[in-house]
C-alpha cells in the first residue's frame, strides 16, 4: 500500500509541476512591437514595448526619446540608442532602425544610464563567503559556489544592477579568487562570467584577518596571524614562497627543452594564483580601513613585486589619496558608512569625493545585497558630500568600477561598440522618487517593472492553487502530514558564517553592520 501511495504522490507531483511550468511560460506574441512595413509601431515604456524578460535578443533594439546619461560624454536629451546583436550600434538623436523586425521602446520622459556595476559584492554565493580555516586560501574560487537561483539577483536587477565583482570574504590575509559576472538570471551560470575580465583575488587587512572580534578572550584558539604585523608577514611570506615556486617552474621549462625526462615541480593551486599576481595576470582587491595599513600594503607590493588594483572600503583613503593615486590603485568605498567599528571611526562621507579630486579612480560599492538595490542613490550622495558633478557621481557606479575591474572597453558607459547594458529609470536616477523600470543586459531585458507587477497577480493565484492542492493531497493521505525535522543550533551557539565576516561580537552576540 505504501508503494501505491508513493506512486500516486509522484504522479501528482509531476502533474503539478507541468501545470506550474505551463502557467509560467512567457507569452511573447503579445509583448513585442516589431517594425511593420514602413512604420514603427511605437508604444510608451509603461506599456512594455520590450520583449519579455529573458527572451532572445532581437537583432536590433531601438530606444527613443530618452534622456541619456552616458557617463562618458555628457547627457543627451531626447536621444536614441540603437542596439544591434547585443552591442551599441549608435547613440544620438532621431535614430532609425534598419531591421524590419526591430523592437522599439518609446522612453519619453525616462532616463537611461549605463547598467550599474558593483565592485564589491557577495551576492549569489551559496553558503559562507569565507574559507576561514587558513590565513592564505588563494586556491578557493567563488565561481564554484555561485547560486543562479538566489532571490537577491532578481531584486538587484530591479535596482538596475548589471555587473558584480563577487568577492571572497575578509577572514584571510589572502583570501579566495573572485568572479566578475553579469546577472543574466535565467541563463546557465557559465554564461554569467565575463570571459575577458581580469581574474582577481581578495586580500584583507586589519581586524578581520587577525580575527579580533571572533573568539574574545579565548586566545588559545586564535589562528595566526593575531596582529597587524602578523598580517603583513603572512602576505610577505606567501609571495616569497610563490617566487620560489615560479622559479622552479621556469627552471623546469628551460630544462625540458633539452631533457625530455625532466620532472615537473609538484603543482600547488595555492601558489599558482599568487604567481599569476606576480605576472600581472590577476588583480588584487584588498579589504582595508586604516591609512597606516593602506600604505603598508602599497609599499609591500613595491617590495615584493605585485600591484594592488583596488582598495576595498578604504575608509581612510582620503588621508593618503595622493599615495594611492601614485600607485595607480583604485578605491572602492561606501558613500556614508562610518563609526560601526573601531577601524571605521575616522571614516567621513567626503571620502569618495576627496579621493576622486586627488586622482584616484573611485567607486561606490554595496558589500550588501540590500544596498546593491539602490547604488544609484548611494552615488548621488557624492554630490552632497564633496560636490562632485553629476557625471562624476554617476561614474562612481558605472564607468569607474568598470575601469577597476578591467572591463571598461566593453561596459560602464553608453558608447558605440560597448555592450548594450542599460538601466531605464522613471525619473532622474539621483531622485529619491525614481524607480528602475527596465534593466537590459547585452540587448536582452532581464527586468521589466510592468511585467513584474502583472506577474504578481498570477503568482498569487498560482500560490493559492498550489496550497489548495497540497491541502487536498494531505486530506487524501498522499503526502506526509508533518514537516521534516530541521537541525537546530545548540543553545548559545553562534553562527559561524557571521563570525567569519565579523558581524557578531561573541561576548554579547550583538549583530553589527561590521564589514
354: its cell numbers: 576627496
Note whether 10 and 159 are same-domain residues. Answer: no
Q: Is residue 486 part of a domain?
A: no
Same domain, residue pair 315 and 386: yes
Q: Are residues 105 and 17 in the same domain?
A: yes
CA angle, 11 then 13 then 16, to 5°: 110
Q: What is the CATH number of the domain that holds 456?
A: 2.30.40.10
Say which residue the cell 589562528 belongs to: 223
Cβ neighbors of 190 (< 8 A, separation 6 or more) are none
> Which whole-number Å values give the CA distances from 247 to 9, 241, 250, 264, 265, in the listed order?
62, 10, 5, 12, 10
* One domain, residues 380 and 442: no
Please answer whether residues 185 and 154 qualify as being in contact, where contact means their C-beta atoms are separated by less than 8 angstroms: yes
Domain boundary among 384, 411, 438: 411
Backbone angles phi, psi at 403, to 5 degrees: -65, -45
Q: How many domains does the chain have?
A: 2
- Position 499 in a domain: no
Same domain, 130 and 207: yes
**Statement to judge: residues 32 and 63 lie in one domain:** yes
Same domain, 262 and 390: yes
- Asked if the structure places residue 515 within a domain, the reply is no
What are the CA-CA distances from residue 240 to residues 1, 171, 237, 271 (Å)?
68, 21, 5, 10
Q: Considering only CA atoms, which of 213, 169, 507 is closest in space to residue 342?
A: 213
Do both 128 and 64 map to the same domain?
no
Task: Please indicate, yes or no, whether residues 313 and 439 belong to a single structural domain of this protein.
Answer: no
pTM value? Answer: 0.82
**Domain check: are 390 and 436 in the same one?**
no
pLDDT by 10s per residue, the chain, length 515? 444 444 444 444 444 443 444 333 333 332 233 333 323 223 344 333 344 455 555 589 999 999 999 999 999 999 999 999 999 999 999 999 999 899 999 999 999 999 999 999 999 999 999 999 999 999 999 999 999 999 999 999 999 999 999 999 999 999 999 999 999 999 999 999 999 999 999 999 999 999 877 655 555 577 899 999 999 999 999 999 999 999 999 999 999 989 989 999 999 999 999 999 999 999 999 999 999 999 999 999 999 999 999 999 999 999 999 999 999 999 999 999 988 999 999 999 999 999 999 999 999 999 999 999 999 999 999 999 999 999 999 999 999 999 999 999 999 999 999 999 999 999 999 999 999 999 999 999 999 999 999 999 999 999 999 999 999 888 888 766 566 565 555 554 444 444 444 444 443 333 333 46
Q: Are 92 and 214 part of one and the same domain?
A: no
- In this structure, the answer to whether residues 94 and 195 fall within a common structural domain is no
Name the residue range of residue 32's domain.
1-115+412-478
Amino acid at each position: 500500500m505504501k508503494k501505491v501511495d508513493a506512486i500516486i504522490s509522484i504522479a501528482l507531483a509531476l502533474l503539478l509541476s507541468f501545470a506550474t511550468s505551463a502557467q509560467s511560460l512567457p507569452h511573447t506574441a503579445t509583448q513585442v512591437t516589431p517594425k511593420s512595413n514602413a512604420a514603427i509601431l511605437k508604444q510608451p515604456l509603461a506599456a512594455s514595448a520590450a520583449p519579455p524578460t529573458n527572451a532572445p535578443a532581437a537583432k536590433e533594439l531601438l530606444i527613443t526619446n530618452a534622456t541619456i546619461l552616458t557617463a562618458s560624454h555628457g547627457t543627451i536629451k531626447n536621444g536614441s540608442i540603437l542596439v544591434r546583436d547585443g552591442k551599441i550600434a549608435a547613440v544620438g538623436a532621431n535614430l532609425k532602425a534598419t531591421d524590419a523586425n526591430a523592437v522599439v521602446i518609446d522612453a519619453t520622459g525616462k532616463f537611461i544610464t549605463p547598467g550599474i556595476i558593483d565592485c564589491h559584492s557577495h551576492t549569489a554565493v551559496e553558503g559562507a563567503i569565507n574559507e576561514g580555516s587558513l590565513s592564505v586560501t588563494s586556491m578557493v574560487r567563488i565561481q564554484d559556489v555561485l547560486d543562479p537561483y538566489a532571490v537577491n539577483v532578481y531584486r538587484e536587477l530591479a535596482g538596475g544592477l548589471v555587473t558584480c565583482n563577487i568577492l571572497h570574504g575578509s577572514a584571510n590575509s589572502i583570501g579566495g579568487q573572485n568572479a566578475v559576472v553579469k546577472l543574466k538570471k535565467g541563463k546557465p551560470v557559465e554564461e554569467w562570467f565575463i570571459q575577458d575580465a581580469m581574474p582577481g583575488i581578495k586580500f584583507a587587512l586589519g581586524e578581520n584577518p587577525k580575527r579580533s572580534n571572533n573568539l574574545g578572550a579565548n586566545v588559545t584558539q586564535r589562528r595566526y596571524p593575531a596582529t597587524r604585523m602578523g598580517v603583513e608577514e603572512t602576505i610577505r611570506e606567501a609571495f616569497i614562497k610563490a617566487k620560489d615556486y615560479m622559479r622552479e617552474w621556469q627552471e623546469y621549462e628551460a630544462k625540458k627543452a633539452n631533457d625530455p625526462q625532466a620532472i615537473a615541480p609538484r603543482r600547488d593551486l595555492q601558489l599558482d594564483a599568487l604567481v599569476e599576481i606576480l605576472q600581472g595576470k590577476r588583480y588584487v582587491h584588498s579589504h582595508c580601513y586604516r591609512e597606516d595599513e593602506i600604505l603598508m600594503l602599497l609599499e609591500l607590493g613595491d617590495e615584493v613585486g605585485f600591484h594592488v588594483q583596488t582598495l576595498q572600503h578604504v575608509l581612510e583613503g582620503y588621508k593618503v589619496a595622493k599615495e594611492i593615486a601614485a600607485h595607480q590603485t583604485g578605491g572602492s568605498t561606501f558613500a556614508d558608512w562610518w563609526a560601526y567599528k573601531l577601524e571605521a571611526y575616522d571614516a567621513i562621507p567626503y571620502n569618495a569625493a576627496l579621493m576622486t579630486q586627488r586622482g584616484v579612480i573611485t567607486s561606490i560599492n554595496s558589500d550588501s545585497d540590500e544596498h546593491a538595490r539602490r547604488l544609484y542613490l548611494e552615488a548621488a550622495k557624492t554630490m552632497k558630500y564633496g560636490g562632485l558633478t553629476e557625471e562624476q557621481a554617476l561614474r562612481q557606479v558605472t564607468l569607474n568600477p568598470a575601469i577597476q575591474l578591467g572591463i571598461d572597453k566593453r561596459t560602464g558607459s553608453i558608447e558605440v561598440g560597448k555592450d548594450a547594458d542599460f538601466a531605464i529609470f522613471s525619473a532622474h536616477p539621483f531622485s529619491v522618487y525614481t524607480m528602475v523600470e527596465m534593466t537590459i543586459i547585452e540587448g536582452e531585458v532581464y527586468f521589466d517593472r510592468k511585467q513584474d507587477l502583472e506577474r504578481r497577480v498570477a503568482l498569487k493565484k498560482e500560490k493559492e492553487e498550489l496550497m489548495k492542492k497540497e491541502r487536498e493531497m494531505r486530506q487524501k493521505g498522499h503526502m506526509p502530514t508533518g514537516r521534516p525535522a530541521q537541525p537546530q543550533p545548540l543553545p548559545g551557539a553562534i553562527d559561524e558564517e557571521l563570525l567569519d565576516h565579523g558581524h557578531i561580537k561573541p561576548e554579547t552576540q550583538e549583530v553589527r553592520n561590521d564589514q
